[in-house]
Amino acid sequence: MSTIDPVAFHTRLGEQGIDLFAGVPDSLLQDLCACIEDRSPREKNLITANEGNAVGVACGYHIATGNYAAVYLQNSGLGNTVNPLLSLAHPEVYSVPMLLIIGWRGEPGVKDEPQHVAQGRLTLPTLDTLEVPYQVLDPEQWEAQVDHAVEQLRSADAPVALIVRKGTFSKYAAAERPSDLPLNREAALEAVIEAIGPEAFVVSTTGKTSREVFEIRERRGEGHAHDFLTVGGMGHAASIAAGVCLGTDQTVYCIDGDGGFLMHLGSIPVIAQRARENFRYLMINNGAHESVGGQPTVAFDIDTAGLLTAAGFEQVEVVRDAEQVPAAVERLARTPKAALVIEVAQGSRPDLGRPTIAPSANKTDMMAEFEAARR
Ligand SMILES: Cc1ncc(C[n+]2csc(CCOP(=O)(O)OP(=O)(O)O)c2C)c(N)n1
């Protein structure tokens, strides 16, 4: 199958007057995102906390300049764009043109993980419902498709989408991201799971964090019934954990990522103020969306501990070294309203597997554990 060169695609968009990018990175758009990050000036590529924010940025930019922005996202994030697409950018409201570039995980007929199947099947119907015209990018005629999309968004003054299948773009070597942090995420998770023990309940975030939690429990022979893996619903792990805490007295650890933390940051102060005392928050901060290609978040530019403290967590620690983890987790375990941030380098094993237990079975097994605890 032929592929599209990300550089040629980026150049074509520029020639068509698309000079701002905003979005949340996606595994299928990994090479395009690496190219955008490399070739666009920093102020012209805004990696937003969630996909809806990117639609907002595209609206504002068009208002100020008359130019068009491209909004890139995985189809998992389409839901986050529904409100701003329908009640902001839609032709019956402000009528704001922009180009959506959507990675199509779970395309019917292409094998993918359970969390992508319904989303993949319903991606095109969702765009139909949102009244967003789209084309599925074809490497044989992509130039004409890009030109057509821009013509369409210009004449309709409305959002238009390009859908990106798996394998559409050719490789683009991402910039090296050196780090002097001693741990990577999996090593940090090993230390955390060792310290919290097999009985602790965990709600872990979307992406490789949960895949690593699954494999660590597998290696330790501890079973998986105490871990909710949040395979979809990125950004909601803390809310799920807060909900679990409402129904049990067991200690529940949310293991979040910095991308997950930022995606629905508004949940954090509410949880810090209102969650029950058995809620514990733990963030593995690698300053990036490592699971989908390593594009940076702002998490290394901000004071995450200060943010958590301001939100209402009463004891917040940040650690970086393996030796610090056991004692820090022990303090977290015994302190209500505590939070712990572990700063790590990017990186993961190339042979990292995926959970072999279906999400619905994961849920049922966990429910059985809570039912047994209630008895
Ligand atoms: C709503 C939504 N947008 C985008 C994605 C694609 N996605 C999966 S994991 C991930 C990155 C998560 O970043 P972070 O929480 O920092 O964890 P890391 O991968 O760095 O460990 C993204 C963007 C998704 N699953 N859902």
User: Ligand 1: which residue has its CA nearest to atom 3?
Assistant: 77
For residues 232 and 343, membership in a common domain is answered with yes
pLDDT tens column, 297-316: 999 999 999 999 999 999 99
- Give residues with Cβ within 8 angstroms of 54, minimum separation 6: 22, 23, 24, 46, 48, 71, 72, 73, 81
For residues 150 and 265, membership in a common domain is answered with no
Residue range of the domain that includes 28: 6-164
For residues 159 and 211, membership in a common domain is answered with no
Domain membership flag for residue 171: no
How far apart are the C-alpha atoms of 282 and 298, rounded to whole Å? 18
Ligand 1 atom closest to Cα of residue 294: 20
Ligand 1 atom closest to Cα of residue 25: 23
Assign 134 to helix, strand or coil.
Answer: strand
Q: Which amino acid is at 62?
A: H
Burial of 260 (0-12, 13-18, 19+ CB in 10 A): buried
The model's confidence at residue 5, banded by pLDDT at 50, 70 and 90, is: very high
Q: Is 120 in the pocket of ligand 1 (CB under 6 A)?
A: no
Q: What is the structure's pLDDT at 373? A: 87
Identify which of 221, 323, 313, 227 has the alpha carbon closest to the alpha carbon of residue 274: 313
Domain membership flag for residue 169: no
Q: Which two tokens stand for residue 284?
A: 């593995």
Q: Is 304 in the pocket of ligand 1 (CB under 6 A)?
A: no
Q: What is the structure's pLDDT at 337? A: 87
Q: Is 74 in the pocket of ligand 1 (CB under 6 A)?
A: yes
| Predicted confidence (pLDDT) at residue 153 exceeds the cutoff of 90 | yes
For residues 255 and 151, membership in a common domain is answered with no
The residue count of the chain comes to: 375
Taken in order 112, 116, 122, 126, the sign of the CA dihedral is negative
For residues 192 and 148, membership in a common domain is answered with no
- The β-bridge relationship of strands 295-296 and 288-289 is antiparallel
How far apart are the C-alpha atoms of 11 and 8, rounded to whole Å? 5
- The β-bridge relationship of strands 18-23 and 68-74 is parallel
Mean pLDDT within 125-144 = 98
Domain membership flag for residue 179: no
Ligand 1 atom closest to Cα of residue 256: 15
Domain membership flag for residue 300: yes
Q: Which two tokens stand for residue 7?
A: 């550089």
For residues 133 and 265, membership in a common domain is answered with no
Identify which of 231, 232, 228, 222 has the alpha carbon closest to the alpha carbon of residue 242: 228
For residues 199 and 156, membership in a common domain is answered with no
Q: CATH number of the domain at 10, please.
A: 3.40.50.970
Q: Is 343 in the pocket of ligand 1 (CB under 6 A)?
A: no
pLDDT tens column, 255-283: 999 999 999 999 999 999 999 999 999 99
For residues 195 and 340, membership in a common domain is answered with yes
| Predicted confidence (pLDDT) at residue 293 exceeds the cutoff of 90 | yes
pLDDT tens column, 7-49: 999 999 999 999 999 999 999 999 999 999 999 999 999 999 9
Q: Are 316 and 339 in contact (CB under 8 A)?
A: yes
Ligand 1 atom closest to Cα of residue 206: 9
pTM score > 0.95 for this model? yes
For residues 227 and 301, membership in a common domain is answered with yes
For residues 97 and 199, membership in a common domain is answered with no
User: Ligand 1: which residue has its CA nearest to atom 17?
Assistant: 257
Domain final residue pick, 164, 195, 224: 164
Domain membership flag for residue 170: no
| Predicted confidence (pLDDT) at residue 1 exceeds the cutoff of 80 | no
With residue 329 as reference, give the H or E element that holds it.
helix 325-334
Domain membership flag for residue 286: yes
For residues 144 and 236, membership in a common domain is answered with no
Q: Are 324 and 296 in contact (CB under 8 A)?
A: no
Q: Which of 80, 289, 297 to mutate to test the pocket of ligand 1 (most atoms within 8 A of CB)?
A: 289
How far apart are the C-alpha atoms of 180 and 14, rounded to whole Å? 36
| Predicted confidence (pLDDT) at residue 146 exceeds the cutoff of 90 | yes
Q: Is 116 in the pocket of ligand 1 (CB under 6 A)?
A: no
Domain membership flag for residue 307: yes
For residues 192 and 134, membership in a common domain is answered with no
Q: What is the structure's pLDDT at 375? A: 85
Q: Is 205 in the pocket of ligand 1 (CB under 6 A)?
A: yes
Task: Give the distance (Å) from ligand 1 centre to CA of residue 259.
Answer: 6
Domain membership flag for residue 63: yes
Domain count, the chain: 2
